[in-house]
Every structure is written in C-alpha cells, then in structure tokens.
Amino acid sequence: MGDHAHRTVEAVWRIESARLIAGLARTVGDVGLAEDLAQDALVAALEQWPSAGVPDNPGAWLTAVARRRYIDGVRRQVTFERKVAEIGRELAETESPMDEIEFDDHVEDDVLRLIFTTCHPALSRDARVALTLKLVAGLSTEQIARAFLISAPAMAARVTRAKKALADAKVPFEVPVGTELATRFASVLEVVYLIFNEGYAATSGESWTRDELCEEGMRLGRVLAALAPGEPEAHGLVALMELQASRIPARMGRDGEIVTLLHQDRGRWNRLLITRGLAALAKARSLSRSAVSRPYVIQAELAACHARALSAADTDWARIVALYEVLGSLTPSPVIELNRAVAVSMADGPAAALPIIDALAGEPALRAYHLLPSVRGDLLSRLGRHAEARAEFERAAAMTANSRERAHLLRRAAACG
C-alpha cells in the first residue's frame, strides 16, 4: 500500500473517528464495543481505499461498514436453531436505531457523551488520557505510545484495561446531570490539560516540547468549548493553553537550550495564539456571572499578564501575586505557593520571597520536585549567596528527568562560580 494512501486514511480517521465511535456507542450502549466496530471499519478502509480511492462521504462509508459488522455480530450471537423465530424481530430492533446513525445534530451530543465517558473518574488518570487520545482525538495506539515513551503493546494493554474498567463499572453513555455534572466536567478539563501539559512540560526524554500533544490538547479544548459554550472553565482552559503555547517558539535557544519565561525573546511569541487566548479569556469572563473563582480562568489570567507585558520588566507582578493568592485559596497546593514565591521575588525582591520558599522545605509533595531547589537557587544567587545557590542548582539538576533542563540547571550552577 502506498504511504500516501495510508496517510490519507489516517487523516480521514482523525476527522471522523470521534463522531463514528460516539454514534455507535449510543446505539450499542458500550464504548468498548463501539471502538472495536469502528476499528473494523478502519481496517476495511485501509484495505479498500488505497485501490478504490477515498469515498465521497468517508464518514458515512465507515459508519455503514461498522453497522454491518455489528449486525453480523448480533446474527452470530443468536443461536439459529433456538431463535429462528426471533431473528427477524431482533434484527428489526437493532437495525432501526442503527439506521438513524447519520451526521445529524445529535452526533455532537454523542461526542460530548463520549468525552464524559473516556474521562470518567472510575479510570486512573493515565487510563483517561490514553482512552481520550484514542477514542476522541483519533490517535493510533502507536502514536500515543510514542508520545508517552512506552511500548505500543504496553499502551494497547492500558487501553484494553481502561475499556474493561468502563464496562465493569457499568458507566452509562450519557452526559451526567445534577450535582455529578460539576465533578465530571472537572475531570474532563483535567484530562484535556494533562494532554496539553504532557506536550508542554515534557516530563522526561530528549524533547523539551512535544508540539503534537500540545496541539491535540488545544484542539480538544476548543472542541469542548464548542460543545459546552456556556461553561466559563472550558473557555478558560482554552485561553490558558493558547496563551501558554504562544510561548513555545521562544522556549528554546539557538543550541536547543531552555530559555525561561523572563529571558525569552517576546518577538518570537505567537501573536495569533495570544490574540485567540485573550479572546477566549474575555469570553470566559463574560460568562462568569458569579464571583465564584474558577481555577482555569485564573490560570489563564496569570498567563495573560505575561502575554500582555512587552518585556519581563513591564510585567504586572503585583497582579500576578494577587492572582496566585486567589488560586492558592481556591486549590491550595505547594506548587502554587512556589509560583507565588517567584512572583513575590519579582514584585518585592528575592529577600521577600525566600521565607515562602523555606516554608516549603519539608513539603512531601515537593520532595522530588526539581523546581523547588531551582527557584531557591535563583533567589540565593540574586541575593549574592553564590555558594549556596550553586548547591541548590546542582541538587535540582540531579532531580530532573529532562536532559535539556538538566543542562540548563548545570549551566546556572557553573555560573555561580
């Protein structure tokens, strides 16, 4: 098969698979089975399209093939001898809802149901992320495995276990209602941001950013914002991701070294993403009727402070400190406290920030977090305490799994003399 034909099938799959799987899941009531049927249709497309060409309506073609597989499966399950009389009726029952699978308005609701299902809290975070990338984003198991630096068989096993866990937990294919909606929606937002962050802040390996995961995170966020346009946090998350991603072109220097936010060449920031991010943030604000604080909107506000500043010196650090205080009261976390300390050091100087950092020293959650010694090293070096700073940078370098980051920290240690 031609490589080009294969890439074309893959492209169609990216476009169609979420709606295909979501539509099938509504009919068969089981996301795992729906995905198996859709995969069968994909295999058929890979066999037939390279010679026969891509059909005019590839989505309908894939749906028709998956639908036939389902009916064939039902036929096999029905024991011919015992149920001759029932076949006609059962087939009639299964075929009539199947015939309704078209790309109608309902399909968008189905995609939302699918997202809620793959992001179900019954699954581990890793399982939610893997399943969402596979079923909603249309990535192949191999692509997901590469992104997460594990083997394809291991990723396939993770997806299979996740599907089984959904079936075991009898997770219904629906958008939750009432009090459940808020927590379930938070889980969806979390998964989308985890996908983005896995690309943005690559926790291990050679590559500092993995642009494709970032792009997929942003795309899923936009899909979610379009499906739930009244949710401020959906727009807040889109704003946060787009504003953060706008800095990607400036995060790496000439020799592949890391350039931190304050030293970035702001001319390399992506203006289109900044414009979009600020617009998404404005949308989120306009939807927030109550004063209830929303974590993603606040984080987007933080990112917007940097996006609006023409240089590091122009940054409104006092506002950033205030935003971290709000965020910290809303979702207390030592990492937020660490970030607040950095902002305080910019607003009021390193001496004001050091006590905040020192208070975090015994924090179990930060024991393996390289940014704690890294930030402390930065404050100490700005205070002229070079020997102590050097020890902190070296400690941080030993803690990070990212080779570019380690090089960056060792350079800073060396600069302390």
Binding site for other proteins (CB under 8 A): 4, 7-8, 10-12, 14-15, 54, 58, 108, 212, 215-216, 218-223, 226-227, 249, 254, 265-269, 271-273, 276, 308, 310
Please say whether the beta carbons of 361 and 373 come within 8 A. no
Which pair of tokens denotes residue 92?
A: 């009639």
* Residues 46, 52, 55: CA angle, nearest 5 degrees: 80
CB of 228 to other proteins, least distance (A): 12
Closer by beta carbon to other proteins, 266 or else 395: 266
Please say whether the beta carbons of 239 and 192 come within 8 A. no
CB of 51 to other proteins, least distance (A): 17
Closer by beta carbon to other proteins, 88 or else 230: 230
Closer by beta carbon to other proteins, 279 or else 347: 279
CB of 220 to other proteins, least distance (A): 7
Which pair of tokens denotes residue 312?
A: 């590091």
10 Å Cβ neighbour count for 390?
A: 19
CB of 415 to other proteins, least distance (A): 22
DSSP symbols for 367-399: TT-THHHHHHHHHHHHTT-HHHHHHHHHHHHHH
Alpha-carbon dihedral sign for residues 25, 27, 33, 39: negative
Closer by beta carbon to other proteins, 179 or else 311: 311
CB of 138 to other proteins, least distance (A): 9
Closer by beta carbon to other proteins, 89 or else 271: 271
Closer by beta carbon to other proteins, 168 or else 255: 255
The residue to which tokens 């500043």 are assigned: 309
CB of 120 to other proteins, least distance (A): 21
Question: Residue 150 in 3-state DSSP?
Answer: coil
Closer by beta carbon to other proteins, 164 or else 271: 271
Integer Cα distance of 81 and 268 in angstroms: 71
Integer Cα distance of 356 and 81 in angstroms: 76
Closer by beta carbon to other proteins, 136 or else 366: 136
CB of 212 to other proteins, least distance (A): 7
Non-local (6+) Cβ contacts of 31 within 8 A are: 21, 25, 114, 117, 118, 135, 163, 166, 171, 173
Integer Cα distance of 135 and 38 in angstroms: 10
Q: For 144, phi and psi rounded to 5 degrees? A: -65, -40
Instruction: Note the maximum CA span of the chain.
Output: 89
CB of 161 to other proteins, least distance (A): 26
